[in-house]
Amino acid sequence: MSRPRYVLVDRDGTINAEIRGEYVLEAERMILMPGVAEGLRDLQQTGLRVAVVTNQSPVGRRWIDEHQLEEIHRRMLDLLAEAEVEIDGIYVCPHRPDEGCSCRKPQPELALRAAAELGFSSQEAFVVGDKDSDIEMGRRIGATTILVLTGQGRAALEKGVRPDHVAADLREAATIIRGLIEQEA
């Protein structure tokens, strides 16, 4: 039996809107961006599984606690479930950037933990995100990287980040991934 293939997706700026660049600190502010549910559903119909890998420094900054973060994620999962999308896991770094932890993207710890727990090869995975830290994490685990131009994606591209592929949004990223899988077959 072959191992499942995974897409590791960033949260803020990739799945949900960042309203005026602010963090999502309340569950009701969790709003999916247009095309996200369709893109994730397309990935799953292609036979891929999905996990979320996200830095959440508001926890470390004590702007929200773990329970509030769980409520935010519960709303995200509920919104996606309404669109018939299933997320296999959410992997979170709760630390501030200045803490020097080993789990904050671009460090590979969260992605490698997801691979170990969910039983997939990181080298066969895809990483989709809007920041240079997402792309660098993907590189460090040997995954195929896709930068979406939502959230901070355009700024990351202007700073010189070099992903394997660039997509307008998560829906287009799903189309790219489907094409890559078809080429492999």
Q: Tell me: the pLDDT tens digits for 148-157?
A: 999 999 999 9
pLDDT value for 1: 55
Please give the helix or strand (H or E) that residue 59 lies within, else none: helix 57-60
For residues 49 and 43, what is the distance between their CA atoms, to the nearest angstrom? 7
Tokens of 179: 């094409």
Catalytic site includes residue 132: no
Q: By CB neighbour count within 10 A (0-12 exposed, 13-18 middle, 19+ buried), where does 153 fall? A: buried
Report the SS3 class of residue 37: helix
For residues 54 and 148, what is the distance between their CA atoms, to the nearest angstrom? 15
pLDDT value for 136: 98
CB of 53 closer than 8 Å to CB of 108:
no
pLDDT value for 96: 94
The pTM (predicted TM-score) of the whole model is 0.96
The CATH number of 6-184, from 3.40.47.10, 3.40.30.10, 3.40.50.1000, 3.40.50.2000, is 3.40.50.1000
DSSP 93-118: E-S-GGG--SSSTTSSHHHHHHHHHH
Q: What's the average model confidence in pLDDT over 54-80?
A: 96
For residues 157 and 80, what is the distance between their CA atoms, to the nearest angstrom? 28
Active-site hit among 12, 130, 132, 169: 12
Give the CA distances from residue 32 to residues 24, 28, 165, in Å, rounded to whole numbers and listed in that order.
12, 11, 22
Task: Please state, rounded to an integer, the average pLDDT across all residues of the chain.
Answer: 95
For residues 84 and 66, what is the distance between their CA atoms, to the nearest angstrom? 26
Give the confidence band of 95 by pLDDT, cuts at 50, 70, 90.
very high
For residues 29 and 164, what is the distance between their CA atoms, to the nearest angstrom? 31
Active-site hit among 10, 42, 132, 169: 10
If one compares 37 and 1, the residue with the highest pLDDT of the two is 37
Catalytic site includes residue 10: yes
Q: What tens digit of pLDDT does each residue of 8-27 get?
A: 999 999 999 887 668 899 99
